[in-house]
Chains A and B, each alone.
Chain A
Amino acid sequence: MIKTNNKVLITISCVVLFFLIAPLFMIVVTAFGSGATIDFPIQGFTFKWFANVFAQPDFVSGFEMSFLVAILASALALLVGVPLVYALTHYHIHHQQWFQVLFLSPTFIPEIVIGFALYQAMVILFQLPLLVTLLVGHFLLCLPYVVRLITASMTMLDVHVEEAAWIYGSSRIHAFLTITLPSIRSSIVAAFMLSFINSFNNIPISLFLNGPNLNMLPTSILNYLQNNYDPTVSAVSVLLMLFTAMLMILVEHFIGLNALSKDRS
């Protein structure tokens, strides 16, 4: 924490925090409202909307599917991204910056375009299963986060550390697994978290790759909201907030939250 006496800075920070937190606060409050529509302030107090969340099969199966896809896509992005960044940062590769930009490019292209393009190419043209296409889409979504974060910590890493491991008898693979990976573990966790949250929250890509027995939680919420305007949506939002907070607490417990903002090395 930076200690400051700058009044302007404190004021601006408070305003920003207010705008960040106030809407969340409202959602939390409305989730307990007993009225049939989302009201603020609320009339009475009830838990029934939370019960209703679990009564919606789309929400339950959507959560399961979103969770599964987010885990798989993030893991895949790490499995591909970490070796990729290692190669980009450790070897002389022609047109290195081009590759760097290429792997970051999914962030520059509107996600809705990625979703549509995947739908056109993989589902219509190649007749690939929806789930595979969905995974590819979310993998593309996650890859830039992995490339960005891992590149930052790989370039911070002293190359001589790995060389020292070779000198003292480690093979290249062994040195990579036992020396290099542990040295960047906090950014690996950070990359996984960011990937997971982005995939879990994503609508544009999932929207195109929905199907029977295949819906994601955010798109289910969107669908529900189009037909109903009751506090169930608030309740599911509160549950999602709790879920994310729980993830944060787990990260904090195991490696410290500052892993998400900076690397220890």
Chain B
Amino acid sequence: MGSTQRMSNGPNATASPWPGYLDLVQSASGLALGLFMWLHMFFVSSILLGKDAMWTVARLFEGYFFFGRPYPALVSLFVASILLLLMVHAATALRKFPANTRQYLDLWRHTRQLRHGDTSLWLLQVATGFLLFFMASVHLYLMLSHPEQIGPFASADRVWSGRMWPLYLLLLFAVEIHGAVGLYRLALKWGWFAGPDPATTRRRLRRAKWLTSVFFILLGLATLAAYMRIGIEHAPHAGQHYVPAWSGEIE
């Protein structure tokens, strides 16, 4: 700051409400995406309960149990809204990214010098956020364009025969780290759960952040392994959809 005076807000100027709006939109979109990713992991991990359980979850989102037949377009619609939310979050979060070489160098030196947990975590959040621009987009486009390809065999074939497992492995770590750190930071930024003893709250939030990251990464690894195992077994018949034992319907 020093001797440099800000020019935008002189004594008679009216400050724009947009910085406030954008901060709110960044936080709200991050909150929605973070909570959605936890739900998403629970839905996807239904495969651990068996193929029928996953088949049921997949059909549920296609409206099968409401309309009597599946409408994959409903999934596309939902995926499109998630993609839009991701784009809004990315656009608003980009405001916080370093924007030039000097800023990147300053951030890197600062983080190394300071050895401060929350500062280092932010650097990790920037890195994982950057990776998610690309990795999440690939997955979302696949779901958007092929919503009917979600099921015990279809998903497993995509993971194994479609060679998506390396992407999903990286995506899992990036999402679960980025999401948990982001939600933790949201709580601190807005003073949620601060209570009479904010220091204790922060310690608990930090512990909750690590526990949720570890829990969802382990759940995700187990889920990915399950899809890979099914994908390997089903590889000779890749493309065939799963038919539940109790249903005459096909996937």
Indicate, yes or no, whether A interacts with B: no
- A residues near B (Cβ < 8 Å) are none
